[in-house]
Each structure stands twice: as C-alpha cells, then as structure tokens.
A and B are shown apart, each in its own frame.
Chain A
C-alpha cells in the first residue's frame, strides 16, 4: 500500500515549469528520500503534497483516495525555512499550532509536557520565541511538527541548522516514529543521512524525475565493477602482470600498504578472474568491491542529465 501516490504532477509558475510530469509512490511505513539540487522542484512537490498549492495537472492520492482537507491533520510538515511567531510564548504557540492540527487543548498540553521533558526544554515554556537561539527554536518547531502523531511526516532539510548531537537526537526520533508506523518523506542534500535512513528515493533534477527506486537496488545498478585491492609487493610487477581484461585506475599508499583501484573492463570476466590474476603477480592483503555511494550517484546522475540536455540543445 502506498500512502502517497503522485501521478504526472505538473506545476507552472509564469513561464517557468517547476514540476514536469513527476510521479512517485511512497510505500506506507517507509522512509522516503526526495533528492535533487537546489531549485529542482522538491519544495514545490512537498507543498503540493501538503495542499499548500495545487498542481496544474496530475493528481495526488493519500492512502488511495484523492487528497483533501481531512488529510491535513494526518500530515506533519517541517518546511525548510523554519519560523515561529517571534512575539508569542513558546508554550502558547505550541498549543496553538497543535490545535490547528486538530488536537484538543488538553491532549496537546499532555503531549507537549512529555516532549518538552524528553528534549529537556521545560524551562522555555514561558519564553518568547525571539529570546531563543536558532537551534532552540528548531527543536520547538520539530516538536510542533510531530506532536499530533501524523501518519505521514514531511521534513524539508530537517538536519540543517542542528549541531551533530541534536542531529543524532532527531535521527533517533525519526527512526522511532517509523517503528511506530509513520511514513517519513524527507528532502535533503545530505547523502550520508539518505544512505543511513532512507529505503526509497526519488531524484529530481530540473523539474523532472531522473532516478527513482529502492536505495539498495539503485546502488546495485550503479556498480561500476571497481575493486579496491591492498597488496604488498612491487608496483612494477602489478602493472606489468595485470591482464588486459582489467584496467588499473590508480595506485596509492594507505596505512596498511599499497592500494590499487582496478576496473574489470570485459563483460564476461568476474571478480574471481581478477583475484586469480592478482594472486599470480602480488600478495593480496584485502580485496573489496567499491559500491558507489549515494553522493557519487547523485553527482553522476545530475551531471549526466545536464550533459544530455546540453546535447539536446545542440
């Protein structure tokens, strides 16, 4: 079951197309990463899912039915640009925002006490937001986003502006919420956190979907048949003894000894062939396939689409 199904979503802003036939399916209970360079259209898509703006074409289904007013209280949204009423007191403001999401005052009060205790910020209740530091205000805003225990949480760059300790606190909370059955969509540039948290991703570039799927499957797809070998022995023997089916991409010194990066060029050779060849010419200390990180995939895919567009223009 998909909690969000977006089909062929198009959104135009006076001559500029922010989203061009973007489709995605967010499985219930997953952590879904929405990736893309700045200005790719991520925030527009998130706003459409949040019913802040409506698409020009295409549709959004929430749990199988067209998204509507009733779904507002089932979604929690932390926008990239954080903000609270500066002159309003922290507690009062949290209560107000929770009530707008449909919680009763009593229930909101009860839950806020638990959260304020958990984040150790009870003392801020009667402070005005303008008295808080940026990080403190972000914590308050995070609480107001999740307080009504929505089925779907949408975080736009949730970790920006937090120190590493608080980033870990947030990650723990996000994983906890997933375990409690919530679905999380988050948009980020931070590929390390994508690898750490996400099950699925969609990569948007220049208003279009350029990559989509499960993380493990995508990384499998982008394997480049590269291997990292740590060896002891002379470089010359390695270079001269390497079979033409294999290509030496680099040699370097690391703490354990000499390290070589080798690519298997021919289709019908595998890692076994490479090992057999290496055993003859050097002494292997370690042998490891290089699986591309999301960071590399991101850069590669974005550059490829830019090149492709450039080629189309010519």
Chain B
C-alpha cells in the first residue's frame, strides 16, 4: 500500500504542478461562465432596441381612427411599435428608407382576407420574433373579424369568455409531502451538463492515463519501476493519481464557477437578489387554489415576458433538483466510469510503442462512450423509455446516460442496479487490464492489434 501511495503522489503532484493544469483550472470556469452568461447578456441587450414598423393598411381592416389620427389595431410590444402611414406610396418608402428610422414597412393588401398574405419591406432580414408576433396577432385579428361577419349576437362577450390560455406547469411531489414547481427545460439542461461532464472527464483523464503509460514505456523507465513494484500497483497508482487530478480540477472549476456566476449574477441581474426565488416556487396551484377561482386566473398570468423572469425561473427550477443526489451521483458515476475506462486506456497505452499507434486501438474503447452521448441526447426527451433505461443500466454507457435521467428522478432500484453493475464491471475490467498491462509494458515492436492483446491476456503472470 505504501508503494501505491508513493506512485499516486508522484502522478498527482507532477500533474497539478504542470502549467497546463493551472491554465485549464483558471480558463475552464471562465469558458463555463461565459457559456451560461453570454446568452443571458444578449437576451437583455435585445430588449432595449425599439423597432418601429411603418404600416400601409390598404384593407383598412387594421386601422382605427381616433382623435390623434389613424391607429393600428394591434397593440405592439415593448420593443415593437407601429405607425400607420396614409397616402404615401410604397415606392416613396423604398427611396427614402435608409434615412428613416423605420425597422420595416408592413404592407397589408386590400384582399388580405382572401390572400391571407401581408408583406414586410425592409433592407434587412426581419427577425423571427417580429414576423412570428405579426403572424400570430394578425391571425387572431382576422379570425375575430370573420367571426363578427357571422352576425352572432354578443360575439364580443362570448369571445372574451371563451378566450383561454392554458399554462402547463410541472409540480413535483417530494417525499416529505411538499410540492415543487420545475421547468423541464432547466432539468434537461442540468442532466445534459452532468452527462457531458462525465463524458468529458472520462475521455480527457482516461487519455492522460494512456499517455502516462506510453511515456513510461517509451522512456524505458518501466522496467526499473516494475522491478520495484508490481505492475498492477503501478497501473492502479497511475489511474488513481490521474483521477485525483481530475477531481481536483473539477472542484477548482466548481468553486471558481460558483464565485464567477454569483459575482456576475449580482452585477448583471441585481433584481434576482431582491426577489427571492422561493416566491416563484411557493406560488404553486395548491396554495393558490384553496383561496378560490379568482386566484386560479391570477396564477395563469405568470408567463414570463421579461428576461429577469426567465433567469429567475431557471434559478428557481435549479432548486427543485435534489442537489445532494445530483452531486453524489455525479461523483459516483464520474469516479467509477473513469476507473472503468481508465483501465481500458491503460491497456491501450501498454500495447503500443508510441502515441500515434493508439488510434486504431482506441476506437472500440471510445465507441460505447460516443454511443452513450447519442443515447443521452435522446434520453433528455424520453428519460424513462426502454432505450434510456437499458443504456443507463449497461456499465459502459451508464455513467453518461444515467446522469441525464437523474434530474428527472430515477427509482432507487435502477440506481442500485446500474451502480453495482458499474462497480462489478470496473473490478472485472481492472483485473483483465492488469493481466494484459503487465505483459504489454515489456513488449516492444509488436503489432498493435486486439489479437495480440488477447494473446497477452492468456500468458501466465
């Protein structure tokens, strides 16, 4: 044991002292934070630009005449305004458009009811947001008009009574009888992030084990080392030492990311700190429903229309995921997934004489990992179907696939089955790897093939 700990120490210390480790430790969270915060930042930027559309309404269906002249019937939004223009031909707009402040010109032809088409003229591509808003609200307006043409009495009243907006909100029952609201998208995001991180760590640090083995083989120090310790001790020491490096990097990333996100959140979204996210969660249907019909209607109005609300909802939903289970299972699947794959990477390292030779051998090893990523992407949408279930049980893909299922909630027996299979496979794989490794590290100039590896497996120690 003392010798293993010496090996672990060397592997760990030489790696964390490397410049690349320090650079990655600092840059990692910056990239991570940028990945989360830059879209948020852009979302807030977009809000500020107000777009004004000039409207030429030849159908006159969308124009009302008030005391201040003609007014467009569609209300517009915070960022989209309308200005009805009469008596100016479209050609005039084309010639002077560059000088005007208009975002575009909305042309509603007189036969809109029949053609169901209107046009937007602009010098640039009109944003999806604007065109979708126009299509949606003009649909509603024309449907409204057509209904009125049916000459039904009290049509206005009937319409307003019929108007419904169903908002599907996901309320989770927890074991202690509480209810929690969560946003499926956020839960998916957390699962996806967890799965990707497990994949990335296995791949990155598994390759480091492989490179470490090759380094010892190429530099020929291997023969001296295995005259002092058993090959298995050397292999395990290396795998554990590199794994600890990975965990250290992960912890540094988490700590730095937390500080960064907290800091930037305070700088860019101060309103989040004024309104505790708990308010969003507590406003669920069960509490409101008891106090009557009025509040049921009130609670349907919480559709977020503001960036800060979106952010608030994200952070609120994050709270519904059991952080303890998530972090605990992340560490479990990271550690054992890594150990399983690191043993295979060590075998490849022992079988080749230099790094370029690894390419043909590495494919069968990373294939299940990549398969895991594909299944994971499908499992995000169907966390409980057969495919997701089996791939989260099979040890070679379970570390990646199970990570996306956990935020949605996984029965304990599946966790136990998947976990114990993973541990058992790791033990078996390590035993096999040890046998191949101790032969491979002393072999030079052999063909790199699985046939050769199979031969080594059957050698006596």
Encode B415-438 as 1/0 by CB contact (under 8 A) with A.
000000000000000000000001
Compute how far the CA of A47 lies from the CA of B461 in the bound complex, rounded to whole angstroms.
12
* B225/A81 in contact, CB under 8 A: no
The stretch among A50-58, A165-173, A268-276 that forms the contact with chain B is: A50-58
* A54/B461 in contact, CB under 8 A: yes
Among candidates B220, B227, B439, B455, residue contacting A51 with C-beta atoms closer than 8 Å: B227
What residues of chain A lie closer than 8 Å to B222, measured between beta carbons? Answer: 83
**Contact residues of B between 428 and 461, Cβ < 8 Å to A:** 438-439, 442, 455, 459-461
Compute how far the CA of A83 lies from the CA of B243 in the bound complex, rounded to whole angstroms.
25
What residues of chain A lie closer than 8 Å to B227, measured between beta carbons? Answer: 50-52, 72, 75, 77, 79
**Contact residues of B between 207 and 221, Cβ < 8 Å to A:** 215-216, 219-221
Compute how far the CA of A272 lies from the CA of B76 in the bound complex, rounded to whole angstroms.
131
Residue with the greatest number of chain B CB neighbours at <10 A, chosen from A52, A73, A84: A52
With A14-B455, A54-B461, A100-B229 as contacts: A83 and B6 at CB distance below 8 Å: no
Among candidates B10, B223, B455, B460, residue contacting A81 with C-beta atoms closer than 8 Å: B223
Flag whether B228 is at the interface (Cβ < 8 A).
yes
* B219/A97 in contact, CB under 8 A: no
* A100/B460 in contact, CB under 8 A: no
B34 to A: closest C-beta gap in Å: 32
A13 to B: closest C-beta gap in Å: 8
* B219/A47 in contact, CB under 8 A: no
Interface size class of B (residues with CB under 8 A): 20 to 34
Flag whether B14 is at the interface (Cβ < 8 A).
yes
Compute how far the CA of A56 lies from the CA of B230 in the bound complex, rounded to whole angstroms.
18
Compute how far the CA of A84 lies from the CA of B221 in the bound complex, rounded to whole angstroms.
5
> Which residue of the partner chain B has the closest CB to A73?
B228
**Contact residues of A between 22 and 64, Cβ < 8 Å to B:** 47, 50-54, 56
Flag whether A285 is at the interface (Cβ < 8 A).
no
* A88/B220 in contact, CB under 8 A: no
Encode A174-194 as 1/0 by CB contact (under 8 A) with B.
000000000000000000000
What residues of chain A lie closer than 8 Å to B216, measured between beta carbons? Answer: 85
Interface size class of A (residues with CB under 8 A): 20 to 34
Flag whether A101 is at the interface (Cβ < 8 A).
yes
* A99/B460 in contact, CB under 8 A: no
Compute how far the CA of A21 lies from the CA of B297 in the bound complex, rounded to whole angstroms.
93
Flag whether B224 is at the interface (Cβ < 8 A).
yes
With A100-B3, A100-B229 as contacts: A47 and B442 at CB distance below 8 Å: yes
* B6/A56 in contact, CB under 8 A: no
Compute how far the CA of A47 lies from the CA of B222 in the bound complex, rounded to whole angstroms.
12
* A83/B10 in contact, CB under 8 A: no
Compute how far the CA of A51 lies from the CA of B227 in the bound complex, rounded to whole angstroms.
7
* B219/A99 in contact, CB under 8 A: no
> Which residue of the partner chain B has the closest CB to A101?
B228
Flag whether A86 is at the interface (Cβ < 8 A).
yes
Q: List 16 A-B contacts (CB under 8 A).
A: A14-B455, A47-B223, A47-B442, A53-B438, A53-B442, A53-B461, A69-B230, A78-B224, A79-B220, A81-B223, A83-B220, A83-B223, A86-B215, A100-B3, A100-B6, A141-B224
Closest 9 CB pairs of A and B: A83-B220, A100-B228, A79-B223, A81-B220, A77-B227, A83-B219, A83-B221, A50-B227, A54-B461
